[in-house]
Amino acid sequence: MSHAKVAKKNHDNAQPPEKLKGKDYEQELAKLHVELVKLQEWVRHKGLKVCIVFEGRDGAGKGGAIKAITERVSPRAFRVVALPAPTEREKSQMYIQRYAPHWPAAGEVVIFDRSWYNRAGVERVMEFCTEEQAKRFLEMAPLVEKAMVESGILLLKYWLEVNSEEQTRRLEARIEDGRKLWKLSPMDLQSYSRWYDYSRARDEMFTATDTPWAPWYVVRSDDKKRARLNIINHLLSKLPYEEAPRDKVKLPKRQKAGDYREPDYPFKFIPEVF
């Protein structure tokens, strides 16, 4: 048996690590948030252009990972792009055209919650595009991404891999949780039934678009908390940064009230229920 097959067999038989405790997760996430702020300031200072793509099956944890990345940084520096279904006008455009305006300018980190790879995944599986269009996309995507990288964009592509049992558990939880109903669309239900069609589409996508200049990084996401920490740790390792120069901040003295008096205006305060 080859070394690769032995390694795979050992991995398949390995017991998954225990679920990460909430307290441990929050402690590690806080440390990583400090580093993400440093990255943000370095990106602004150097005028870097960063583009991060998140792909994966429904319920793989893309939204939670993106939220973990962005909850402590500026939305003006970290911009999340989640495009709706294309309009009739957009359908008539060159496919990549609707995504290009959202690519980062200097000083920006743009995160795509699904991206141009819709064509290699949901559009292909659900037959929203022809096989010829899908295959043409797989030929052109590496060339477009090479042009992006050569223009100075730092491009990272993540595929979140969730197993079928965990996906089922998460989607069933959405049905029962009123806070998550919006996450479960008729399209999600249709795509859920086509697990192996998506697997085939994923495999062909990797073969065609996992390139030296824009590789795919795969994240095991059965444990959402571990996945989020691992993603942030990895992207920080792939984006070289330093602590940007910054003047020490000191609050100025507040002006004196002088002749100002608090008003007796009947402000409409909201009810204090809590």
**pLDDT number for residue 168:** 92
pLDDT digits (tens, 9 = 90+) for 80-117: 999 999 999 999 999 999 999 999 999 999 999 999 99
C-alpha to C-alpha distance for 202 and 138, rounded to whole angstroms: 11
Counting other chains too, the contacts that 22-28 makes at CB distance below 8 Å and 24 or more residues apart are 22/225, 25/225, 25/229, 28/229
Tell me: pLDDT of 267 over 90.
yes
Residue 3's pLDDT band, with cuts at 50, 70 and 90, is very low
For residue range 114-172, what is the model confidence (pLDDT) as tens digits? Answer: 999 999 999 999 999 999 999 999 999 999 999 999 999 999 999 999 999 999 999 98
**145 contact partners, CB below 8 Å, separation of at least 6:** 155, 209, 211, 213, 214
Confidence band of 19 (pLDDT split at 50, 70, 90):
confident
22, pLDDT greater than 60 = yes
pLDDT value of residue 158: 98
Average pLDDT, the chain: 92
Does the pLDDT at position 68 exceed 90?
Answer: yes
CA–CA–CA angle 235, 27, 39 (5° rounding): 30
Q: Give the E-state strand segments of the chain in sequence order.
A: 49-56, 78-81, 108-113, 153-161, 216-220
pTM listed for this prediction = 0.88
Relative to beta strand 108-113, strand 153-161 is unpaired
CA–CA distance, 68 with 224 (Å, rounded to integer): 11
Tokens of 110: 């743009």
Instruction: Give the model's pLDDT for residue 149.
Output: 98
> What is residue 235's predicted lDDT score, i.e. its pLDDT?
98
Q: Which two tokens stand for residue 27?
A: 């402690």
Confidence of residue 7 (pLDDT cuts 50, 70, 90): very low
What is the biggest distance separating any 2 CA atoms in the chain, rounded to whole angstroms?
Answer: 87
Residue 189 pLDDT exceeds 90: no
Region 53-57 average pLDDT: 97
pLDDT reading at 2 higher than 70: no
Please tell me the distance from the alpha carbon of residue 140 to that of residue 209, in angstroms, as a whole number.
9
pLDDT mean over 201-211? 98
User: Cα separation of 263 and 179, whole Å?
Assistant: 41
Between 28 and 20, the higher pLDDT residue? 28
- Listed residue (145, 91, 170) closest to 123, CA to CA: 91
Which domains, and CATH codes, for the chain?
24-238 (3.40.50.300)
Q: Taking a C-beta distance cutoff of 8 angstroms, is the pair 162, 152 a contact?
A: no
Measured CA to CA in angstroms, residue 211 lies from 72, 155, 202 at distances of 32, 12, 15
- CA-CA distance, 99 to 14, in Å (whole number)? 40
How would residue 5 be classed by pLDDT, with cut points 50, 70 and 90?
A: very low
Helices (H) and strands (E) in the chain, counts: 10, 5
Length of the chain: 274
Q: 97 in the Ramachandran plot: left (φ > 0), alpha (ψ -120 to 50) or beta?
A: alpha
Instruction: Name the packing angle between helices 195-209 and 131-150 (round to 10°).
Output: 40
Share of the chain above pLDDT 90, in %: 81
| Distance in angstroms (rounded) separating the CA atoms of residues 212 and 216 | 9
